Structure 1
Amino acid sequence: MKTVLITGANKSIGFETARQLLQKGYYVYLGSRDLEKGQKAVDQLNAEGLNNVEPIVIDVDRHESIKAAREEVGRKTQVLDVLINNAGISGSFPQTAQETDISVFKEVFETNFFGVIETTQAFLDLLKNSPEPRIVNVTSGLGSLTLHNDPTWKYYPVKGAVYTSSKASLNAFTIVLAYELRDTAFKVNAVDPGYTATDFNHHSGPGTVEDAAARLVKAATLGPDGLTGQFFSDDNAPDTGISPW
Structure 2
Amino acid sequence: MTVTLITGANKGIGFETAEQLLELGHVVYIGARDVERGEKAAAAIGTRFVQLDVTDDASVNDALATIEAAESRLDVLVNNAGVLASGDVDGPLALHAFDTNAVGIVRVTEAALPLLRKSSNPTVVNVSSSAGSFWAVTSPDRPEFHLSSALYSASKAAATMLTVQYAKSQPGIKFNALEPGTTATDMTAAFGIGRAPEESAKAVVRLATLDADGPTGTFQDENGELPW
The TM-score, its normalising length taken from structure 1, stands at 0.89
Q: In structure 2, what is the Cα distance between the partners aligned to 1:149 and 1:197?
A: 24
Offset of residue 152 of structure 1? 3.2
> Partner residue of 1:214?
202
> Partner residue of 2:225?
242
Which of 161, 170, 174 is 1:187 aligned to?
Answer: 174
Q: Greater helix percent: which structure? A: 2
Paired amino acid for 2:211: G
Is residue 125 of structure 1 aligned with residue 114 of structure 2? yes
- Preserved contact between residue 196 and residue 204 of structure 1 (Cα < 8 Å): no
SS in 2 for 1:155: helix
Which of 125, 128, 135 is 1:136 aligned to?
Answer: 125
Deviation string for 1:126-178 (max 9, x for gaps)?
A: 00000000000000120111222223323212131100000001111100101
Offset of residue 62 of structure 1? 0.7
Give the aligned CA root-mean-square deviation in angstroms: 1.3
- Preserved contact between residue 86 and residue 137 of structure 1 (Cα < 8 Å): yes
Is residue 80 of structure 1 aligned with residue 74 of structure 2? yes
Q: In structure 1, what is the Cα distance between the partners aligned to 2:70 and 2:178?
A: 28
Which of 50, 57, 62 is 1:56 aligned to?
Answer: 50
Q: In structure 1, what is the Cα distance between the partners aligned to 2:169 and 2:81?
A: 24
Q: In structure 1, what is the Cα distance between the partners aligned to 2:48 and 2:81?
A: 17
Offset of residue 198 of structure 1? 0.7
SS in 2 for 1:204: coil
Paired amino acid for 1:151: P
Is residue 71 of structure 1 aligned with residue 65 of structure 2? yes
Q: In structure 2, what is the Cα distance between the partners aligned to 1:70 and 1:13?
A: 21
Deviation string for 1:208-229 (max 9, x for gaps)?
A: 2111100000000001231111
Paired amino acid for 2:28: V
Q: In structure 1, what is the Cα distance between the partners aligned to 2:176 and 2:84?
A: 21
SS in 1 for 2:143: coil
User: Identity of paired residues, percent?
Assistant: 39
- Preserved contact between residue 188 and residue 194 of structure 2 (Cα < 8 Å): no
Paired amino acid for 1:228: T
The TM-score, its normalising length taken from structure 2, stands at 0.95
Paired amino acid for 1:208: A
Mind listing any 5+ residue stretches in structure 1 that lack a counterpart? 47-52
Paired amino acid for 2:174: K
* Structure 1 range deviating more: 67-76 or 148-157: 148-157
Deviation string for 1:9-32 (max 9, x for gaps)?
A: 111110000000000000001101
> Partner residue of 2:98?
109
Offset of residue 181 of structure 1? 2.1
Which of 186, 195, 202 is 1:199 aligned to?
Answer: 186
Offset of residue 205 of structure 1? 2.5
Deviation string for 1:76-131 (max 9, x for gaps)?
A: 121100000000001123x6xxxx21111101111001111011000100000000
Mind listing any 5+ residue stretches in structure 2 that lack a counterpart? none
Offset of residue 36 of structure 1? 1.2
The aligned length equals: 227
Q: Which has the larger radius of gyration?
A: 1
Paired amino acid for 1:179: K
Paired amino acid for 2:72: Q
Q: In structure 2, what is the Cα distance between the partners aligned to 1:218 and 1:37?
A: 26
- Preserved contact between residue 20 and residue 217 of structure 1 (Cα < 8 Å): yes
Structure 1 runs, 4 residues or longer, greater than 3 Å off? none
Q: In structure 2, what is the Cα distance between the partners aligned to 1:56 and 1:10?
A: 11
- Preserved contact between residue 67 and residue 73 of structure 2 (Cα < 8 Å): no
SS in 1 for 2:74: coil
